[in-house]
Structure 1
Amino acid sequence: MIKAILASVSASMVLMACTHAPNIAGDASPINTVNMSETAKTLASDEFLGRAPGTEGETLTVDYLIKRFTELGLEPGGRDGAWTDPVTLNHSVITEARTLSVSQDGAAIDMVQGRDIEISSANPRDIIRIEDAPVVFVGFGVSAPEREWDDFGTIDLKGKVALFLVNDPDFGVTDDHPVSNVFGGRRMTYYGRWAYKFEEAARRGAVAALVVHETKAAGYGWNVAASSPGENYAVAGKGSAKASVDLQGWLHEDMARQWVERAGYDLGALRTAARQRDFTAFTLGDLRFNADLALTVETVESQNVLGKITGATRPDETIMLSGHWDAYGVGEPDERGRVVRPGANDDALGLAGIMEIARNLKAAPPLERTVVFAAWTAEESGLLGSEAYAQDPIYPLETTVANFTLDILQTAGPARDVIQVGEGQSDLEELMAMTAAAQGRVISPEGLPENGLFFRADHFSLARRGVPVLLIMGIAGGSDLEVGGREAGDAWVKDYIDNRYHNQNDVWDAEWDLRGAAQDVELFLDMTRELGNSTAWPELKPTSEFKGLRDASAASRK
């Protein structure tokens, strides 16, 4: 199928290459960086209160998005002609930890939420008690028959606490290690993602699932992992969440070391053992976990916001462009007394790019296929807005041609490349390379594949159901910048992750150089135009974990 796609677009790509000089100065781009900056500035202002779901900040944000979509000339994209699609969430907060400890032979280690452990619950209950639950070390917690890997063996997790290592078994090993590249090598697979580990623990009946935090293997520091201690959101209602453990979260590495030492083991030795094919889960001595927690639970009514441009000849075939409108709301004051976590880049700037694509498409005759523009809620709470949509889609996933997601754009200027996130997933990757070449750019692999970014943005809710997707995320690796090269690109990524990611410093900045962001937005614009007037359907690659799901619906696309 990729040959059909490339054949259908090659002529226009050649034309683009002739008429578009490489977007170095930015003045040839149809993407207006002033518009993008002003949109991000508005959404990230204190007036919007950090855009948390279910708050006054949501009301202001949704009203603003509807106003902007209307001004852009979009049609309402929700059900029955509405601009919004409701998402009901269960929001729980641990308000008191009367007991939070682990013990061995009667000697207890008490833990402090946010310092030693970060736990929350996706179950809507106001009291959670776990008494003397055995702790089982499950290694990386992977059950992957296709890789001949099973960490669980015959152990029964019912009523127990599952203790996981983060990432994949082959993360960080040398090339000569027996398990080198059994999974993704440096690139995290879904087995390495904490969401998979929680799901697997729940499926096996555990009462709690804890992942030992390691900064390099997780892709972010403890400050990020524990940024909202005790707080959890989950999609509510029938057919929503998979069954969940009572408690889930992170265990600080220092505390994990104390746990295993109390049980008579060494954490480093356990990591080494867990990287062997013959490893199987085992109970950590007589270690027992105890928790007596009080929670407040509320139902939050939130909204996805959707607009569309109906296709001229094949309106039932859909291309989706999306970003998330939520950020982290209001938190504890930082050292400067700021309480609003504004999410200027994550993801107000991504939504600004989506709006620029919409503006350009509306300035021309409609494409043959329908284009849907989605602003998701509750991404920062676990991709919940997009997950709710994927469970009950408005536009059938079988005939969704592709999803393009913008989530964090680099603000350091023009780049010679675009970073590929999640290599080996679909034919869209070849189309992206051709489209980038027409801009005078090349594709570069993820600089930080171990961070598992393919599983950490809203496109994944559709990807895991077989929809071809592409994500542009500025922190996937340092771009090869026109000024300063890869070194400058890496420095931008490090500064953003270390100093701005998910905190009060992610603010709008008048000094942003958005020409590189405009290149990436224009890339998705051009790809949307090409696919929008094509009859081809991108296919998933044999290396995609989700190929079977897409293949099963092939008859819907004939």
Structure 2
Amino acid sequence: MKFLIPTLLLSSLALPVAAQDLSATRIAETTQVLSSDFFEGRAPGTVGEERTVGYLIGQFQAIGLEPGGKDESWVQAASLLHTKLGKPSKLEVTVGEKVLPWQQGEQVYVSTLRAQDRAQIDSAPLVFVGYGVSAPERKWDDFKDVDLKGKVAVFLVNDPDFEATSNEAVSGRFGGKTMTYYGRWTYKFEEASRRGAIGALIVHDTPGAGYGWNVVASPQGENYDIVRAPDQLTSLALQGWIEGEAATRLFADAGQNLAALRKAARRSDFHPITLKGARFSADIPVTHEVVQSHNVLARIVGSKRPDEVVFYGAHWDAYGIGPADANGKTIRSGANDDALGVAGLLEIARHFKQLPAPERSIVFGIWTAEERGLLGSEAYINNPVYPLDKTVANLTIDILQTAGKARNVILVGVGQSNLEDDLARFAKAQGRTVTPESLPERGLFYRADHFSFAKQGVPVMLMMGIAGASDLVDGGIEAGQRWVDDYTGKCYHQPCDAYGPDWNLEGAVQDISLMFDIGHELANSSRWPEWKDASEFKSRRRVHQP
């Protein structure tokens, strides 16, 4: 793929660099450029990608950074598998002699991550595995060595203590309403594959999932993954969700009470239950292709310990071109998600270049395919340019509030690492306080690119403006919540996520400044951030120190 720098859109490169302060004007201009129709919604593997990557390389070159990839390259290849299911010739559950035909998107929603022409499951037994959690550090195992090979695992969504009352033994063991990684659907599918299941289905409920059935079914049978080696392929022919009422009927037909099993699954002595006489069958055509995409990597080399890396991240991709909205707009340009985050990182890079070279190296990773499942950052983690045991921290920006200055900053992932103590200290210097995310049960900590680093033990900090209501200087918490509700309810992943004249980036600049401050201190110290004792990632941290 050839990356051409679109010279007609590089006006912001000629702007003078402020030596003292981050520039809201420059951040706004960069966001406007990246979210313009010229980039066609920045979908991976498209002309929009060619233009986006070329633009980003041009920006980093103009700022004065070096290529951050291997062999002095600005890019890192990320090969993506794209699959789409066709019309099923069979999609059903049988219980004894009773056949229950299911419709894709109604009773069930499935997709595949295997590059095969058909997704087939032939009369596989269904096994209910509760929440499907294997967490030795919490003395919890839902599987009890059950054999899932050739079977379809059926899960509950979220954690075992999500619905627990205070008098239940599990209460608080998995963070209460705060979702742990064990509650994420991605973990459940991964665990089912590790145990050899042929399929995995999660029972949907809106409170536990954090979104309605319409969101589950919205990809319309599409899925993405990185291209994997044969020995790393998932064992799952199909993975997906069962609609709540359909699941209740299925369990009842198999002689089980789903409501009672929900309670049983909240006990550590829970054992998997084979749904008596229930079998799942599917035969669905699959189209599949490999999409060649790219991460963009740039760096500032450290003056004393260049092999130690402070890593900044944001994602360049959005949702490309889709169906027209009510106004006829088809390009989903992702102005806030995440052109604004990319603009923030470019401004941080400019600011670093006005200062003496940091002791440690600074690397900027602008990722592809975040919207397809954090795939660009996962591709990097699977083939890191910089050793992970020498990566000090990852600082990620993904969506910022655009309603003005705030008295607080929202913390995503409370209790994970001592980077949150750094956040509180620098926020205090701004005259601000830290507010924990308001809906931790939605698991936002596990839904941005920093998480790819966290899974490998690298301490992380995520700045995400939709995680809670900002206490705005103009309008307070009520106005902050109104902004969150308006953005998430109307424009998140939609064509109306576009730059507008009503944007006020003073609050975004506050948050970007905090990320600069944290990274600047880390880059000029010998300190290694640490996971807190309660974090599920503490045991994964490996640090190579001389």
TM tier relative to shorter chain: over 0.9
3-state SS in 1 of match to 2:384: coil
Match of 1:122 among 107, 110, 113: 113
Report how far residue 462 of structure 1 moved: 0.8
Report how far residue 391 of structure 1 moved: 1.4
Whole-angstrom distance in 1 between the partners of 2:418 and 2:299: 24
**Kept after mapping to 1: 8 A contact 2:19/2:354:** no
- 1:265-288 CA distances to partner (integer Å, 9 max, x unpaired)? 343233222222222211122122
Matched, 1:449 2:437: no
Whole-angstrom distance in 1 between the partners of 2:409 and 2:84: 39
Matched, 1:49 2:40: yes
Match in the other structure for 1:413: 404
Whole-angstrom distance in 2 between the partners of 1:230 and 1:243: 17
Structure 1 residues 350, 135: CA separation in 2 closer, same or farther (over 3 Å shift)?
same
**Kept after mapping to 2: 8 A contact 1:29/1:518:** no
Q: Which residue identity is paired with 2:382? A: Q
Whole-angstrom distance in 2 between the partners of 1:388 and 1:239: 16
Whole-angstrom distance in 2 between the partners of 1:488 and 1:173: 33
Unaligned runs of 5+ in 2: 1-17
TM-score (norm 1): 0.91
3-state SS in 2 of match to 1:50: coil
Match in the other structure for 2:415: 424
Match in the other structure for 2:4: none
3-state SS in 1 of match to 2:466: helix
Match in the other structure for 2:23: 32
Report how far residue 193 of structure 1 moved: 0.7
Match in the other structure for 1:402: 393
Match of 1:526 among 517, 531, 534: 517
Match of 1:138 among 126, 129, 133: 129
- 1:433-483 CA distances to partner (integer Å, 9 max, x unpaired)? 111111111111121111111111111111111111100111211122222
Matched, 1:278 2:272: no
Structure 1 residues 414, 229: CA separation in 2 closer, same or farther (over 3 Å shift)?
same
Match in the other structure for 1:64: 55
**Kept after mapping to 1: 8 A contact 2:113/2:234:** no
Whole-angstrom distance in 1 between the partners of 2:459 and 2:221: 34
3-state SS in 1 of match to 2:363: strand
Structure 1 residues 28, 214: CA separation in 2 closer, same or farther (over 3 Å shift)?
farther
Match in the other structure for 2:6: none
Match in the other structure for 1:80: 71
Whole-angstrom distance in 2 between the partners of 1:249 and 1:98: 18
Whole-angstrom distance in 2 between the partners of 1:240 and 1:406: 34
Q: Which residue identity is paired with 1:434? A: R
Structure 1 window deviating more from structure 2 (235-244 vs 32-41): it is 235-244
Structure 1 residues 224, 61: CA separation in 2 closer, same or farther (over 3 Å shift)?
farther
Match in the other structure for 2:14: none
Whole-angstrom distance in 1 between the partners of 2:166 and 2:150: 38
Match of 2:222 among 231, 234, 242: 231
Q: Residues 340-351 of structure 1: matches in 2 within 5 Å? A: 340-351=331-342
Report how far residue 113 of structure 1 moved: 2.4
Whole-angstrom distance in 2 between the partners of 1:240 and 1:503: 37
Structure 1 residues 353, 269: CA separation in 2 closer, same or farther (over 3 Å shift)?
same
**Kept after mapping to 1: 8 A contact 2:154/2:201:** yes
Q: Which residue identity is paired with 1:105? A: G
Match of 1:207 among 169, 185, 198: 198
Structure 1 window deviating more from structure 2 (262-271 vs 533-542): it is 262-271
Report how far residue 241 of structure 1 moved: 4.7
**Kept after mapping to 1: 8 A contact 2:439/2:468:** yes
Matched, 1:383 2:374: yes
- What do you get for the CA RMSD once the two structures are aligned? 2.0
Q: Which residue identity is paired with 2:51? A: L
Match in the other structure for 2:175: 184
Matched, 1:99 2:90: yes
Match in the other structure for 2:141: 150
Match in the other structure for 2:450: 459
**Kept after mapping to 1: 8 A contact 2:310/2:391:** yes
Structure 1 window deviating more from structure 2 (120-129 vs 94-103): it is 94-103
Q: Which residue identity is paired with 1:288? A: R
**Kept after mapping to 1: 8 A contact 2:19/2:351:** no
Whole-angstrom distance in 1 between the partners of 2:169 and 2:228: 45
3-state SS in 1 of match to 2:88: strand
Structure 1 residues 358, 352: CA separation in 2 closer, same or farther (over 3 Å shift)?
same
Match in the other structure for 1:557: 545
Whole-angstrom distance in 1 between the partners of 2:237 and 2:501: 45
Structure 1 residues 509, 221: CA separation in 2 closer, same or farther (over 3 Å shift)?
farther
Whole-angstrom distance in 1 between the partners of 2:141 and 2:507: 44
Q: Which residue identity is paired with 1:547? A: K
Match in the other structure for 1:496: 487
- 1:226-278 CA distances to partner (integer Å, 9 max, x unpaired)? 22121111111438956341111222223323322332334323322222222
Q: Which residue identity is paired with 1:129? A: Q
Structure 1 residues 233, 240: CA separation in 2 closer, same or farther (over 3 Å shift)?
farther
Whole-angstrom distance in 2 between the partners of 1:73 and 1:28: 15
Matched, 1:329 2:317: no
Matched, 1:310 2:301: yes
Match in the other structure for 2:11: none
**Kept after mapping to 2: 8 A contact 1:447/1:478:** yes
Whole-angstrom distance in 1 between the partners of 2:174 and 2:499: 39
Whole-angstrom distance in 1 between the partners of 2:109 and 2:477: 35
**Kept after mapping to 2: 8 A contact 1:29/1:522:** no
3-state SS in 2 of match to 1:51: coil
Whole-angstrom distance in 1 between the partners of 2:259 and 2:29: 49
Structure 1 residues 424, 374: CA separation in 2 closer, same or farther (over 3 Å shift)?
same
**Kept after mapping to 1: 8 A contact 2:198/2:238:** yes
3-state SS in 1 of match to 2:319: coil
Structure 1 residues 339, 119: CA separation in 2 closer, same or farther (over 3 Å shift)?
farther
Matched, 1:260 2:248: no
Structure 1 residues 211, 337: CA separation in 2 closer, same or farther (over 3 Å shift)?
farther
**Kept after mapping to 2: 8 A contact 1:155/1:282:** no
Matched, 1:477 2:465: no
Whole-angstrom distance in 1 between the partners of 2:304 and 2:478: 47
Structure 1 residues 244, 501: CA separation in 2 closer, same or farther (over 3 Å shift)?
farther
Structure 1 window deviating more from structure 2 (214-223 vs 386-395): it is 214-223
Match in the other structure for 1:487: 478
Match in the other structure for 1:4: none
3-state SS in 1 of match to 2:285: strand
TM-score (norm 2): 0.93
Match in the other structure for 2:154: 163
Q: Which residue identity is paired with 1:503? A: Q
**Kept after mapping to 2: 8 A contact 1:29/1:519:** no
Whole-angstrom distance in 1 between the partners of 2:471 and 2:407: 6
Structure 1 residues 388, 445: CA separation in 2 closer, same or farther (over 3 Å shift)?
same
**Kept after mapping to 1: 8 A contact 2:396/2:463:** yes
Match in the other structure for 2:5: none
3-state SS in 1 of match to 2:313: strand
Report how far residue 133 of structure 1 moved: 1.1
Whole-angstrom distance in 1 between the partners of 2:468 and 2:257: 34
Whole-angstrom distance in 2 between the partners of 1:452 and 1:138: 21
